[in-house]
Amino acid sequence: MPEPSVLASLVSALREGAIEIVDLTAPLSAATPLIQLPSEFGQTAAFELQQISRYDGRGPAWYWNNFRTGEHSGTHFDAPNHWVTGRHLDDVASVPVRRLIAPAAVLDFSAEAERDPDFLLEVDHVKAWEAENGPLPDGGWLLLRTGWDERAQSQEEFLNADDNGPHTPGLSPECARWLAEESPVIGLGVETVGTDAGRGHAFEPAFPCHSYLMGNDKYGLTQLQNLALLPPTGAVVIAGPLPIVTGSGSPARVLALVER
C-alpha cells in the first residue's frame, strides 16, 4: 500500500489525539477587556451584538446578528499598516496566508510578571532561553507567557492602571528592536491587551513593539490565552484574522497544534 500523505497523517493524528488543538483565543463579548487611550485620542468600540432575527417574524427559521467592535478588540492580529512605521506595508487582507501558520517558541516569564507587573523582557532573557531550548524558529512566533490571561475576566485587573498609567509586562525597547530587526521570527504574541508593555507610552520610541515590529513587516497577536498548555518549542500556531480590506488588524481565532 502507498505511504499515507502528509495531510492524511495530520488528519489521523488529530483524530487520534496524537496532535492536540489548543485554543489560544479569548471569548469575544461585551465583557472583553479593551485598551483605553487618553481621552484626547479616538477610542475603540466595545463589542456588541445587534439582533437581526431570532426564529420570529423578522426571520422565522433563523437567528443572526450584526456586530460592532474595533479591529483591535479581544484576541486580535496586528497588521503592519496598524502603525505609522508600517503605513506603506500590508493591510490585514494582504498578509500572505502562508505566514498565518507558523511554529512558535513559548517563553515563560509568568513568575517574573507575578512579582513585578512592569516586568520587561530583555535580549539577554531571550538569549538565555535560546541557550537552553535552541534558536527562535525562523519564520515563527515568539509567544511571551506572563500569566496575564488569568486577569482577562476583569477590565480593571487586566489593564492594571493607576494614576501613572497601566502596569502590564512586555518588552524593553532594546528587545523590541532586536526582535524586529535581528531575530528570525515574524511576530510577537502576548497575553496582555497589546504587544507593548503598559509603560510603553513613555519609552523611546513610544510603543516600541508596535513601532519596530510593524515597521519591519512583522505582526502582533494579543490577548492570547492558554499559553501554559504549550511546550517551549514544537507547537504550530494558526492565526485566523478576517481579511478586512484596508484593515489594520482583526479579531482572530488563534489555535495551536501540539504533538502529545
pLDDT digits (tens, 9 = 90+) for 141-172: 999 999 999 999 999 999 999 999 999 999 99
Look at residue 84 and tell me if it is in a domain. yes
Q: Tell me the pLDDT of the chain averaged across its residues.
A: 97
Indicate if the pLDDT at residue 1 is higher than 70: no
Find the catalytic residue in 76, 82, 125, 210. Answer: 82
Dihedral angle computed from the Cα positions of residues 98, 103, 107 and 108, in that order, rounded to the nearest 10 degrees: 110
pLDDT digits (tens, 9 = 90+) for 172-220: 999 999 999 999 999 999 999 999 999 999 999 999 999 999 999 999 9
Peptide bond into 205 cis (omega under 30): yes
CATH of the domain at 136: 3.50.30.50
Indicate if the pLDDT at residue 72 is higher than 80: yes
pLDDT at 4: 77
pLDDT digits (tens, 9 = 90+) for 215-241: 999 999 999 999 999 999 999 999 999
Look at residue 48 and tell me if it is in a domain. no
Indicate if the pLDDT at residue 34 is higher than 70: yes
| Three-state SS annotation for 249-260 | EEEEEEEEEEEC
User: Mean pLDDT throughout 28-50?
Assistant: 95
Look at residue 138 and tell me if it is in a domain. yes
Indicate if the pLDDT at residue 109 is higher than 90: yes
Dig out the grid coordinates for 80 from the structure. 503592519
Q: Cα–chain-centroid distance for residue 197?
A: 14
Domain of 141, in residue numbers: 20-27+71-259
- The reported pTM is 0.96
Look at residue 185 and tell me if it is in a domain. yes
Pairing verdict, β 161-162 and 165-166: antiparallel
Look at residue 41 and tell me if it is in a domain. no
For residue 178, give Cα distances in angstroms to 43, 44, 194, 258.
30, 30, 18, 28
pLDDT at 3: 74
Look at residue 55 and tell me if it is in a domain. no
Look at residue 42 and tell me if it is in a domain. no
d(Cα 178, Cα 61) in Å, to the nearest integer? 55
DSSP 8-class letter at 85: G
Residue 125 appears among annotated catalytic residues: no
Look at residue 178 and tell me if it is in a domain. yes
Indicate if the pLDDT at residue 6 is higher than 80: yes
d(Cα 117, Cα 124) in Å, to the nearest integer? 19
The total number of structural domains that make up the chain: 1
Pairing verdict, β 249-259 and 76-78: antiparallel
pLDDT digits (tens, 9 = 90+) for 113-148: 999 999 999 999 999 999 999 999 999 999 999 999
